[in-house]
Structure 1
């Protein structure tokens, strides 16, 4: 298992828990959709997955390492194995679309020739080859979303966490992006996508739906979510 949650709870400050007694596992190479009504805690759960938030209680194990006993110095290496598509994009405004997408590879120290090849391919995948030189403030919301997705997947992360990645694109582009996520998943990346688009879930084969209700993870029948059964 690439992720394990054991009796995990999360509260902000002194308020009530927004996530309560989470108990589930994500299989390596699995494809998951995280659903649930607004306010159910989807974004908070994603923050736990990509290490932006620590749980108030319980244990999270990521890549075989319990986070509660992990040295702070070890966190950057774990974070580099995670790709994140934020709902608010978080692009760097003074960099071009090309440089935003290339940034993770530059930080990792890849050769510029390899970076150029990978970045141009990714921009082509998300339909933005002709907008490579544009800066985020001049891009539409949908274009910014596609740049954010390309940046998140360019390094082929072990775990991809996406918060409403198709929320600002049309249906055709949503299917194209899901094809990209599916291709990445087939290469071995575990993919977790938070979405309200039930139709999108229905069109995706081999995926498992995890539903959040009132801060707890349940499957469609109300039982705790189980890891997916992968075809041999």
Structure 2
């Protein structure tokens, strides 16, 4: 199976402080599902930031889609980012747009004709249980509803890589199960999924998922990402 993500001896520090991530090396095969776990402060969000190209490493090599992201010109990065869906911990919805238009954003950025947008957006609103809130703007939505809009926006264009930072943290257990099934369905269609979570009850809900565990900025056992 071809690799889609490669980290080689990656280190990350912010400013002059100690390294947040140290000597992180792994390979993720295309179409695999990974849970990223670790205590608060272990470096999970920092690792995800490197994955979705919001941050460049202090050292080491990162390859996505077979390309070196560290040496790639900054002008090429937006094109790579469009192949990555991201569910942020703080949602990052556009406050003046409706739930419907927030979800439609990736399709519009990709240049999809307007007449082709309504159907997939409607299906996604139904899947996350927000058909009756389609016209609501983020400030009027609850935290759980905003989370569901953020997830729908991240997955609507079937990204090659989906990066999710605690995507079930603001929803009830039933919705968490439903959203995890959505991620698993997307994974079966070929998307590589990396999901950070504190909810260890979810870890056995995706039978083929692999575990990545961070401890104080380093990957530790059990770590089977990329294993056959």
Q: TM-score by structure 2 length?
A: 0.97
The number of residues matched between the two structures is: 226
For residues 20 and 49 of structure 2, what CA distance do their matches in structure 1 show?
A: 12
Unaligned runs of 5+ in 2: none
Corresponding residue for residue 5 of structure 2: 3
Q: What is the correspondence of 1:7-26 to structure 2 with a 5 Å cutoff?
A: 7-26=9-28
Kindly provide the CA deviation profile for residues 10-32 of structure 1, in whole angstroms up to 9, marking residues without a partner as x. Answer: 00000000000001111100000
User: CA-to-partner distance for each residue in 1:147-184, whole Å, 9 max, x for gaps?
Assistant: 00000000100000000000000110001001100110
Whether the 8 Å contact between 1:207 and 1:228 is mirrored in structure 2 is no
1:39 aligns with 2:41: yes
Aligned to 1:66: 68
In structure 1, the residue matched to 2:84 is 82
Q: Residue 228 and residue 126 in structure 1: after superposition, are their counterparts in 2 closer, same or farther (change >3 A)?
A: farther
TM-score, normalised to structure 1's length? 0.96
Question: What is the alpha-carbon distance in structure 1 between the residues aligned to residue 220 and residue 32 of structure 2?
Answer: 17
Deviation at 1:225, TM superposition (A): 4.3
Within-5 A mapping of 1:181-196 = 181-196=183-198
Q: Is the 8 A contact 2:10 2:24 kept in 1?
A: yes
Alignment of 1:1-232 (within 5 A): 1-220=3-222, 225-229=224-228
Report the CA distance between 1:226 and its aligned residue. 3.8
Shift of 1:130: 0.6
Q: CA RMSD in A?
A: 0.9
Shift of 1:72: 1.5
Does structure 2 retain, via aligned residues, the 8 Å contact 1:218–1:225?
no
- Any idea what SS the aligned residue of 2:202 has? helix
- Structure 1 unmatched runs, 5+: none
CA distance in structure 1 between the aligned counterparts of 2:192 and 2:109, rounded to whole angstroms? 22
- C-alpha distance in structure 1 between counterparts of 2:16 and 2:205, whole Å: 41
Is the 8 Å Cα contact of residues 57 and 70 (structure 2) preserved in structure 1? no
SS at match of 1:2: strand
